[in-house]
């Protein structure tokens, strides 16, 4: 699935430096359409710093922090931006300068980034492997929105000769549901597209819900495509397990307690049109693209470091950002 390049905010002009970073993000997304946005953010910041004219460690760090802050505040892909910039700064802060000269230190920093990025690119496959034992023969699975990691998991299950069926929500406001149907059909996985509003009517026909993640929070909760929270509530009411497949680089240092705590700028709202409303006179301005699912609705996380409870995911997040 090709992800649309991040839009340039129309209401706020970008500085030349930030505009160059945005352009680099777009080019990297075009070159690696299947890559996670968090990793692309780290790679874009790394390329920024490889072109830095800094002549000292302190100047280099200041430029890196400034570049990170600028991207973090861009009003789109907010959880990925926050996670990517936080990881970038964390790696930099962990590399204390020793008795090396500045140029040697800078080269060593770049090597560390390259090594970490290569390691992060293995996380999707590993997370899918940990989820594989939970996909049993004759399982019926409900999906919401498009997640590359969930796709890898189900493709692995198919290759392991598991027999299962998938229901996938339309995920209105996007074409994600249709993209899931197209992707699974390529692998001869039985799949059926349903209305978002039909989740309650089919929940007793499914064995589990599996979703991906925009971000895993410090609370052990989940930031994901809008509609995830209500599906989790319905799943709990029907006593169906709700699983999340998430790579560790999606662990984000946010601690929301409600939907109003999410970082959702105006461009993270879908704009509704008259065809989306009951009548042309229905007042509407749009709705958020993401929501927050509290940890009590989540059974397990399948991650690259193992199968975790929400409390375990919270602990691993803290370890991930430890010095």
User: Which CATH number is 48's domain given?
Assistant: 1.20.120
Sequence-distant (≥ 6) Cβ neighbours of residue 86 within 8 angstroms? 72, 252, 253, 321
Angle CA(294)–CA(296)–CA(297) in degrees, nearest 5? Answer: 80
User: Which CATH number is 252's domain given?
Assistant: 3.40.50.10470
Task: Flag whether 104 is in a domain.
Answer: yes
**Do residues 88 and 161 share a domain?**
no
**Do residues 26 and 112 share a domain?**
yes
CB 37 within 8 A of CB 90: no
206-to-139, 238, 239 alpha-carbon distances in Å: 8, 10, 11
Residues facing 141 on adjacent strands: 166, 208
Task: Flag whether 228 is in a domain.
Answer: yes
At residue 97, does pLDDT exceed 70? no
**Do residues 289 and 180 share a domain?**
yes
The Cα 276–Cα 285 span in angstroms is 11
**What is the extent of the structural domain holding 42?**
16-121
State the burial class of residue 217 (Cβ atoms within 10 Å of its Cβ: 0-12, 13-18, 19+): buried
Q: How many domains does the chain have?
A: 2
3-state secondary structure of 287: strand
CB 64 within 8 A of CB 92: yes
Instruction: Name which of 77-81, 118-122, 270-274, 279-283 the model is least confident about.
Output: 279-283
pLDDT digits (tens, 9 = 90+) for 119-147: 999 999 999 999 999 999 999 999 999 99
Task: Flag whether 2 is in a domain.
Answer: no
At residue 255, does pLDDT exceed 50? yes
288-to-40, 75, 195, 265, 291 alpha-carbon distances in Å: 24, 13, 18, 9, 7
Instruction: Indicate the pLDDT class of residue 273, thresholds 50, 70 and 90.
Output: very low
**Do residues 98 and 191 share a domain?**
no
**Do residues 83 and 140 share a domain?**
no
**Do residues 89 and 117 share a domain?**
yes
Tell me 251's DSSP state. B
Examine the fold and report which residue of 54, 88, 121 is the final residue of a domain before the chain moves on.
Answer: 121
Examine the fold and report which residue of 94, 121, 148 is the final residue of a domain before the chain moves on.
Answer: 121
Task: Flag whether 7 is in a domain.
Answer: no
Instruction: Indicate the pLDDT class of residue 169, thresholds 50, 70 and 90.
Output: very high
Task: Flag whether 1 is in a domain.
Answer: no
**Do residues 242 and 98 share a domain?**
no
Instruction: Name which of 50-59, 106-115, 229-238, 264-273 the model is least confident about.
Output: 264-273
Task: Flag whether 239 is in a domain.
Answer: yes
**Do residues 192 and 282 share a domain?**
yes
**Do residues 107 and 205 share a domain?**
no
Q: Percent of the chain beyond pLDDT 70?
A: 84
Task: Flag whether 9 is in a domain.
Answer: no
**Do residues 277 and 157 share a domain?**
yes
**Do residues 164 and 253 share a domain?**
yes
Asked whether the whole model's pTM tops 0.85, one would answer yes
**Do residues 296 and 154 share a domain?**
yes
Task: Flag whether 128 is in a domain.
Answer: yes
The Cα 182–Cα 174 span in angstroms is 14
115-to-6, 47, 111 alpha-carbon distances in Å: 26, 15, 6
Examine the fold and report which residue of 68, 100, 121 is the final residue of a domain before the chain moves on.
Answer: 121
Tell me, what's the pLDDT at 205?
Answer: 97
The Cα 85–Cα 38 span in angstroms is 8
- Residue 273 CB neighbour total at 10 angstroms: 9
3-state secondary structure of 308: strand
């Amino acid at each position: 699935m090709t992800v649309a390049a991040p839009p340039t905010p129309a209401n706020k002009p970008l500085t030349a430096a930030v505009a160059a970073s945005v352009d680099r993000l777009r080019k990297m997304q075009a070159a690696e359409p299947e890559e996670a946005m968090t990793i692309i953010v780290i790679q874009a910041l790394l390329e920024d710093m490889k072109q830095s004219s800094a002549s000292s460690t302190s100047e280099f760090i200041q430029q890196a922090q400034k570049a990170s802050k600028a991207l973090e505040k861009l009003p789109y892909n907010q959880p990925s931006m926050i996670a990517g910039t936080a990881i970038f700064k964390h790696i930099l802060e962990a590399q204390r300068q020793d008795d090396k000269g500045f140029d040697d230190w800078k080269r060593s920093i770049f090597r560390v980034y390259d090594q970490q990025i290569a390691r992060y690119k293995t996380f999707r496959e590993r997370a899918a492997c940990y989820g594989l034992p939970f996909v049993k023969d004759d399982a019926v699975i409900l999906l919401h929105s498009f997640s590359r990691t969930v796709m890898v998991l189900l493709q692995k299950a198919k290759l392991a000769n598991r027999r299962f069926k998938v229901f996938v929500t339309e995920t209105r406001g996007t074409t994600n549901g249709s993209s899931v149907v197209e992707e699974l059909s390529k692998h001869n996985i039985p799949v059926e597209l349903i209305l978002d509003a039909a989740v309650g009517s089919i929940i007793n026909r499914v064995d589990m819900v599996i979703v991906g993640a925009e971000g895993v929070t410090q609370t052990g909760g989940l930031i994901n495509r809008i509609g995830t929270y209500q599906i989790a509530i319905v799943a709990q009411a029907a006593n169906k397990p709700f699983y999340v497949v998430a790579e560790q680089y999606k662990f984000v240092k946010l601690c929301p307690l409600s939907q109003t705590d999410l970082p959702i700028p105006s461009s993270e709202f879908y704009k509704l049109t008259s065809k989306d409303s009951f009548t042309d006179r229905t007042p509407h301005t749009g709705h958020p693209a993401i929501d927050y699912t509290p940890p009590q609705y989540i059974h397990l996380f399948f991650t690259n470091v193992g199968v975790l409870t929400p409390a375990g995911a919270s602990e691993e997040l803290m370890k991930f950002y430890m010095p």
